[in-house]
């Protein structure tokens, strides 16, 4: 393989001969680099709101001390920055919990149809505020094995993204198809599709969307309250369920995120 480094060690084994071993250092080095990048990203993401908070505190202690209007304005911004840190920490905890459980396959039975309906209902207010119409299309009952809290998080993250990025006037649909109800292309499992009629994503970004902190437009993500971890969390949960995820998007037409879960 190209760009692969091996550590070769030679050891004499008395009575048997010589033992030559090859260790793949590239994979280890790559994992270490990813960890370093992750720590650097987390530090940066936390430092930005913290720096803003510190400077507002200084202003409130000094120049804005007796200015009631400025104080209210600054406190609102400080509240928003603190909430941003809170969301980031909540997502980091979710990510580490999901990662820790990734090897343990969930076995509980649940009805995906009612989960989808309950998520759509729970997000209907946010959708309404954003001027987005939300709909579901699912068979009456779809029993699968899975972790219901985690699958709820998958549905919430994907639907919130669709609402957030598609914007006013868009339509968001959560569709579930099940081999028992619909003729499948291949009998590959239960298919959940969250689609929107938003602005879409340039295809160059698609392969990297599920990476931690990868954003198409950082300012827009932050303005919408995004942490850049939503799709990374989704990917880990889907992996835990031995499923697959794919994102299809046509700029100007919309985005479609498909999650396929084995039956
Ligand atoms: P974020 O917290 O920034 O939303 P995510 O991991 O959930 O992070 O998503 C990564 C990026 O993918 C987003 O910043 C956004 O640019 C893009 N994205 C995700 N879903 C959609 C969508 N439905 N339409 C357009 N862009 C999207």
- How far, in Å, is the centroid of ligand 1 from the Cα of 14? 59
The ipTM, to two decimals, is 0.99
Give just the sign of the alpha carbon dihedral 181, 185, 190, 196.
Answer: negative
- How far, in Å, is the centroid of ligand 1 from the Cα of 96? 20
Indicate which residue's Cα is closest to atom 11 of ligand 1. 215
Indicate which residue's Cα is closest to atom 19 of ligand 1. 161
Q: Which atom of ligand 1 is nearest to the CA of 210?
A: 6
pLDDT in tens, the chain (263 residues): 566 778 888 999 988 899 998 888 788 888 899 999 999 999 999 999 999 999 999 999 998 889 999 999 999 999 999 999 999 999 999 999 999 999 999 999 999 999 999 999 999 999 999 999 999 999 999 999 999 999 999 999 999 999 999 989 999 999 999 876 555 555 578 999 999 999 999 999 999 999 999 999 988 888 888 999 999 999 999 999 999 999 999 999 999 999 999 87
- How far, in Å, is the centroid of ligand 1 from the Cα of 226? 8
Is the CB–ligand 1 distance for residue 228 below 6 Å? yes
């Amino acid at each position: 393989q190209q760009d692969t480094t091996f550590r070769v060690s030679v050891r004499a084994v008395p009575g048997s001969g010589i033992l030559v071993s090859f260790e793949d250092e590239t994979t280890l080095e790559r994992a270490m680099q990813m960890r370093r990048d992750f720590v650097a990203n987390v530090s940066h993401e936390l430092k930005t709101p913290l720096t803003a908070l510190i400077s507002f505190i200084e202003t409130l202690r000094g120049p804005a001390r007796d200015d009631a209007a400025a104080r209210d304005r600054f406190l609102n911004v400080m509240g928003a920055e603190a909430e941003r840190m809170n969301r980031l920490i909540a997502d980091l905890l979710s990510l580490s919990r999901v990662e820790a459980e990734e090897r343990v396959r969930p076995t509980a039975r649940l009805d995906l149809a009612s989960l989808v309906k309950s998520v759509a209902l729970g997000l209907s207010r946010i959708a309404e505020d954003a001027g987005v119409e939300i709909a579901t299309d699912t068979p009456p009952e779809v029993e699968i094995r899975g972790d219901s809290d985690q699958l709820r998080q998958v549905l919430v993250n994907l639907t919130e993204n669709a609402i957030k990025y598609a914007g006013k006037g868009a339509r968001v649909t959560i569709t579930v198809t099940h081999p028992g109800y619909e003729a499948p292309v291949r009998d590959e499992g239960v298919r959940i599709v969250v689609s929107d009629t938003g602005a879409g994503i340039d295809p160059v970004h698609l392969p990297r969307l599920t990476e931690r902190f990868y954003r198409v437009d950082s300012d827009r993500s932050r303005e919408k309250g995004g942490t850049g971890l939503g799709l990374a969390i989704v990917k880990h949960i889907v992996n835990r369920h031995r499923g697959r995820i794919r994102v299809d998007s046509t700029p100007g037409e919309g985005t479609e995120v498909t999650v396929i879960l084995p039956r």
